[in-house]
Amino acid sequence: MATRDLTAMSERLSKAGVRVQNHDGVPWDPGMSLKAIAYEPRSNLDRETVVETERPTVYRGGRCIQFGHVIVGVPEKGQDSGTGQH
């Protein structure tokens, strides 16, 4: 039932010209119109990447009405191999 309600709400917002943008997986660029609320080292990354959208960007009629807040993953440097050396 909750899924049906969310789908109906999403359809109504879309008809009203509202678009919600999630940024997960997008390569991070400091010039983006997003606020990085945290940076987290991640071993599986080779470049800065948005790993979680805390608050999506919302557009209405093509204008941004809410800027997104994201967590940016950064490649780990000098992973510890268990020897105490990096």
CATH number of the domain to which 29 belongs: 2.30.22
- Taking residues 22-28, report their average pLDDT: 96
Higher pLDDT, 12 or 78: 12
Tokens, residue 11: 């359809």
Report the first-to-last Cα separation within the chain, whole angstroms. 51
Strands of the sheet containing 34-42, edge to edge, are 34-42, 68-75, 49-55
Asked if residue 3 belongs to a domain, the reply is no
* Domain, as residue range, for 61: 19-75
Residue 33 lies in a domain: yes
Residue 49 — φ and ψ, nearest 5°? -145, 145
DSSP, res 26: P
Establish if 81 belongs to a structural domain: no
**Residues 35-59, mean pLDDT to the nearest whole number:** 96
Q: Is residue 11 part of a domain?
A: no
In a domain, 7, yes or no: no
24 domain residue, yes or no: yes
Q: Check pLDDT > 70 for residue 19.
A: yes
Instruction: Name the domain count of the chain.
Output: 1
- Residues whose CB is less than 8 angstroms from the CB of residue 58 and which lie 6 or more positions away in sequence, other chains included: 18, 19, 20, 21, 64, 65, 66
Of 45, 55, 47, 49, residue with least CA distance to 21: 55
